[in-house]
Amino acid sequence: MLEAIRVQEVSPTVAWLRSPAAIRERCHQVLDLGLAGRLEYFRVEPSRLPVVVDRVLAVTHEAYPRLDIPVHSRWRHFDAGGVPRLAQLEARLAALPPDERARAKVDLGVVSVLLDAGSGPAWRYQEPGGATYVRSEGLAVASLRMFMAGGFSSDPDRPLRADAEALGRMTREALERGFQVSESNPLLGVEGRLQLMQGLSRVLPRPGSMFDMLAAHRRSVRATEVLGTVLEVLGPIWPGRTTVDGVNLGDVWPHPALGPSDSADALVPFHKLSQWLSYSLVEPLAEAGVTVTELDALTGLPEYRNGGLFVDLGVLVPQDPRLLKEAYDPGDAPIVEWRALTVALLDRVAALVRGRLEMSAEELPLAKVLQGGTWTAGRRVAAELRPGGVPPIRVRSDGTVF
């Protein structure tokens, strides 16, 4: 089954829309329109970018005074609150061979990223005997605890894994129990998250199989190949959205300023969760001796922390104040525009941050600028401006995009 998935033939258009080059090109097309004053929903104020850079540098120096910044990935969230949960996991995996440890970590990384879409402001996770966590950290801790309890494994003797049998038979009740969901503790997009888990069971015998696809007797793999494998293998699990040549593209949406909505020329690919997963595979692969190279080929992540930073600090100014009051679906044109501008502006911020720090792209790749970085600055500014740190623009989450 795995080989059949890997050699699936797709058209040149589909192959291109799955590439980070397409993400970057289309997003910069939208930014160019914005700089020319030709967008409907946002005005772009590049003179405000230094303000963003100042905030990004401030939080970066605070968190990483020696600039020893790791890659932006899911692994940063597992030790939320200073609790050494990953050390606990490592201790339990220590007896396994290195490749099997890597597969187990890929199992965890994949399921946790796919369960990471926005939680909503009301949900929280109370760690047994510990503190309470919200949003991405809460989702990370919940998924890790569920993983360590064998919640994704069908074999009681091998709990630290995820496999198709357990994922396929997962119920909404089991997922809600693992994430402590109740009427008083609602989690957005539970059904969408469940569908991703069940979809995952249909494309892989276990998520950790992707380690073997990527490692395959070599010492390095390009970041574009990591993303390509993720998109090719996981493509069938995404809810039906835009299709081209019979292929469901996932997190790809039309923008009216680029062309007719039924034209491939209008499509803006983002692949946010897939790129988040690709970044999150870097460390398990490295620990097994496989280096991910050319990491800067991937793009910034178009989610509400990075995007909110640009809105809150005045780089992106809504043309209509209602944009800050109403809720939108991920495919609505204002959201597609916001996300595209976010990806392109993150490239500009990364270049400015490197310039201020006198570092090269090799020394400070975009993935480290995000971690240092833009995501934390976006959260910090949101918390200063609004109760609960909610984003400036509301998106209705189905649990499969953000």
Q: Is 193 a member of any domain?
A: yes
pLDDT at 62: 98
Q: Which of 230-244, 316-330, 371-385 has the lowest mean pLDDT?
A: 230-244
Residue 66 CB burial class (10 angstroms; 0-12, 13-18, ≥19): exposed
| Whether residues 189 and 109 fall in one domain | yes
| Whether residues 212 and 256 fall in one domain | no
| Whether residues 313 and 358 fall in one domain | yes
The answer to whether residue 99 scores a pLDDT higher than 60 is yes
| Whether residues 77 and 194 fall in one domain | yes
| Whether residues 56 and 185 fall in one domain | no
Cα distance between residue 402 and residue 92, in whole Å: 31
Give the DSSP per-residue string, 298-317. S----SHHHHHHHHHTTSEE
| Whether residues 141 and 194 fall in one domain | yes
Cα distance between residue 397 and residue 394, in whole Å: 9
| Whether residues 89 and 194 fall in one domain | yes
Per-residue pLDDT, averaged over 3-26, amounts to 83
Q: Is 260 a member of any domain?
A: yes
The answer to whether residue 28 scores a pLDDT higher than 80 is yes
| Whether residues 263 and 395 fall in one domain | yes
pLDDT at 240: 79
pLDDT at 1: 38
Task: Read off the pLDDT of residues 287-317 as tens digits, 9 standing for 90 and up.
Answer: 999 999 999 999 999 999 999 999 999 999 9
| Whether residues 55 and 107 fall in one domain | no
Give the DSSP per-residue string, 205-273. S-TTHHHHHHHTT-SEEEHHHHHHHHHHHHGGGSPS--EETTEE-SSEEE-TTTS-TTSGGGEEE--HH
Per-residue pLDDT, averaged over 146-161, amounts to 98
pLDDT-derived band of residue 398, with 50, 70 and 90 as boundaries?
Answer: confident
Per-residue pLDDT, averaged over 60-70, amounts to 97
Per-residue pLDDT, averaged over 239-266, amounts to 92
Q: How many domains does the chain have?
A: 2
Mean of per-residue pLDDT scores for the chain: 95
As given in the structure block, the two tokens for residue 37 are: 């004053």
User: What φ, ψ does residue 393 adopt, rounded to 5°?
Assistant: -125, 135
| Whether residues 172 and 250 fall in one domain | no
Q: Is 225 a member of any domain?
A: no
pLDDT-derived band of residue 389, with 50, 70 and 90 as boundaries?
Answer: very high
Task: Read off the pLDDT of residues 166-206 as tens digits, 9 standing for 90 and up.
Answer: 999 999 999 999 999 999 999 999 999 999 999 999 999 99
pLDDT-derived band of residue 8, with 50, 70 and 90 as boundaries?
Answer: low
The answer to whether residue 5 scores a pLDDT higher than 60 is no
Cα distance between residue 392 and residue 338, in whole Å: 11
pLDDT-derived band of residue 266, with 50, 70 and 90 as boundaries?
Answer: very high
DSSP, collapsed to helix, strand or coil, labels residue 161 as coil
Q: Is 247 a member of any domain?
A: yes
Q: Is 222 a member of any domain?
A: no
Per-residue pLDDT, averaged over 115-130, amounts to 92
Spatial CB neighbours of 306, under 8 Å, sequence gap ≥ 6: 300, 342, 346, 370, 374, 375, 378
Cα distance between residue 223 and residue 219, in whole Å: 13
Contact 72, 370 (CB under 8 A): yes
Q: Is 318 a member of any domain?
A: yes
**Which residue segment(s) compose the domain that 200 sits in?**
73-217
| Whether residues 64 and 79 fall in one domain | no
DSSP letter assigned to residue 322: G
Q: Is 282 a member of any domain?
A: no
| Whether residues 344 and 367 fall in one domain | yes
pLDDT at 85: 97
Instruction: Give me the sign of the Cα torsion angle 18, 21, 23, 25.
Output: negative
Q: Which of 248-252, 314-318, 395-399 has the lowest mean pLDDT?
A: 395-399
The answer to whether residue 400 scores a pLDDT higher than 70 is yes
Give the DSSP per-residue string, 53-67. HHHHHHHHHHH-TT-
Task: Read off the pLDDT of residues 203-230 as tens digits, 9 standing for 90 and up.
Answer: 999 999 999 999 988 999 999 999 999 9
